Amino acid sequence: MVSRIEHPAGGYKKIFETCEELNEPIPAVVVGLIPKWLNGSLLRMGPGMFEVGSEPFYHLFDGQALMHKFDLKNGHVTYYRKFIKTDSYVRAMTEKRVVITEFGTTAYPDPCKNIFSRFFTYFKGIEVTDNCLVNVYPVGEDYYACTETNYITKVDPDTLETVEKVDLCDYLSINGVTAHPHIESDGTLYNIGNCFGKNLSLAYNIVKIPPKQKDNSDPLAKSEVLVQFPSSERFKPSYVHSFGMSENYFVFVETPVKINLLKFLTAWSIWGTNYMDCFESNETLGTWFHLATKDPAVYIDHKFRTSAFNLFHHINTYEDDGFIVVDVCTWKGHEFVYNYLYLANLRENWGDIKKAAMRAPQPEVRRYVLPTDVHKEAQGKNLISLPYTTATAVMRSDGTIWLEPEVLFSGPRQAFEFPQINYNKFSGKNYSYAYGLGLNHFIPDRICKLNVKTKETWVWQEPDSYPSEPIFVQTPDSVDEDDGVLLSIVVNPGADQRPGYLLILNARDLTEMARAEVEVVIPVTFHGMYKP
C-alpha cells in the first residue's frame, strides 16, 4: 500500500484553495459503465473557503463548510455544491472577516470598534463555532452536517439548503460530540462526547439518539446518556475523534493528547486563543482503553494500558470467544498529529512536505485485543488465546493490563487513514476487508484495500491525482463482504479539462468501473455518506 508516486509539481496545493458554490447542479461526463443498481447520492463535507476577505484561515479544519453532492440516476451523474449557512459563515460574509474562532484560527474583535469596545468583547465568554465541515449523517429522517462541538446543522440532502442550527446541549449533558457516530440498522445512533462528571471533573458520555419515531416527533428530544467513562486527568480531557462499538460493548481509547480546560476557559476569554492553542501532550500517561457494556450500559473498571499513540479513526470493533478485537489507525507517540496540518505546511513544495513528515508521528494500522474475563491471579501471563492474532494482554502486578498490538500495516510516512468497511453488514462483526485513503507524507494520493486477516493489499493510484475517503456501497442482495463499489471524489489539477471527478471502483480488486468528470476543481473533503 506504499505510494509509488512523487508529487514534485505540487498539484495537491489546488485542493486547499477556495472555490465558489454552484447555482445549480452541473452534468458530468461519464466514462465507463456505472452499475445499473447504483442510484443515489454521494454526500461529502469539507472546507470550501480558506480565507475571508484579507484574513486567512490557518488550519486544515478551519475553512468554511461546503457540502458536495454527486447524484447518480440511470447511468447519469450531476454534481452540486453549496456552502452551509452557519452562523460562522453568515457573520463572516456579512463582516468580511473571521468573526468566530475556528480550530486553528483566532477571531479578533472588530478593528473598527474603539479600544474600549474591543476590550469588553473579550469578556463575553467563549463563542463556540458551528462550522460543520467534518461529516454528515442521518438522525431519524433528517440529515445533519457536523463538526466536533455541541452544534449540528440540519440540511436538506436534495437541495443542500441549510435548514436549522441545533444545540445538542438542549438535549444532552455534553460539551461536544464526535463527527463519527455509530448507527444501527434500525437508525439508532450512538456517539461520545466529553462532559462534566462528578465533582466538576471531566468525563466522557456515551449518548443514544433513537430512530424515527412512530408519532413523527423529533428523535433528538428523546436522546439520553447511557454510560459515563472517567477521565484520567481531572481538568484535561483527551481529544476524542471516534470510538469503537461491537454488538455488546463500547470501547473508548483515551490518548495522551489533552485539552487544557483551564487554558481553554481563561486564555480564550481574556486575550484570545484558538482550539489548537489549548492542546498539550502528556508524555508519561500512555494510552488507556476503557470498556463498557451496551445493554445494560455499565462501565467496566478494567485498567487496560498501552504505549502512547494518536488515534482519530477506528476501523471496526467486534467480539470473538470472550475477547474484543479493536482495529484502529494509529500514529505513534504523544505529539499531536494536527500540529502538521496547518495549511502553510500542506501548501509547501513537495520536498518540504516530505521533510516535515519525517519529523511527525508515524502511522500504523493496529489490532488490539481486550479480554473480557480478567483474573488477577493470571499475573504475567498473556490473557489472549485467539489463534489468529499476535496481539497480547498481560496482567501486571499493579492490576493494570498491558496491551501490545498486532500490526496490520506499517509504512514509513505512508498512512492508511479515513477507513471504511462494509458497515451495513459487518460493523461490530468479525470481518475481512477495510478500505482507506492512502496518505503520502500527509498528501492523499491513493485508495487502498486491506485484508485484515491475511494483510493482503490492493491499491488504486494515478499520477497527479488526489482522491478522497472511499465510501463502500454494497451490491443489492450480495453475499460476499466485498461485493460492491467504492465511491471517491478525485481531483487531477493538471488535466486539460474536467479536473474533478467521481471515481467508481470495483471493491473486490480496485479496478476502475467508471468516472464522472466535471469542469471544476473540487477542494479537499473529509467525510460523508451514500444516500440511496
Q: Which residues are annotated as a binding site for Fe cation?
A: 180, 241, 313, 527
Amino acid at site 381: K
Q: How far is CA 515 from CA 33, 103, 398, 404, 508, in A?
A: 8, 34, 57, 42, 17
Single-letter residue type at 94: T
Half-sphere exposure of 158 (CA within 13 A, CB side): 2
Alpha helix (H) residue ranges in 333-466: 343-346, 350-359, 423-426
Cβ neighbours of residue 330 closer than 8 Å, sequence gap 6 or more? 309, 310, 311, 363, 364, 365, 366, 405
Secondary structure class of 342 (helix, strand, coil): strand
Using DSSP, state whether 255 is helix, strand or coil.
coil
Q: Which residues are annotated as a binding site?
A: 180, 241, 313, 527
Q: At residue 444, what is the residue type?
A: P
* Distance in angstroms (rounded) separating the CA atoms of residues 181 and 179: 6
All 3 cell numbers of residue 145? Answer: 452536517
DSSP reduced 3-state for 87: helix
> What gap in Å lies between CA 231 and CA 237, rounded to an integer?
6
Q: Which amino acid is at 501?
A: Y
Cβ contacts of 96 within 8 Å, gap of 6 or more: 52, 53
Chain centroid to Cα 172, Å, comes to: 22
Grid cell digits, residue 319:
467480539
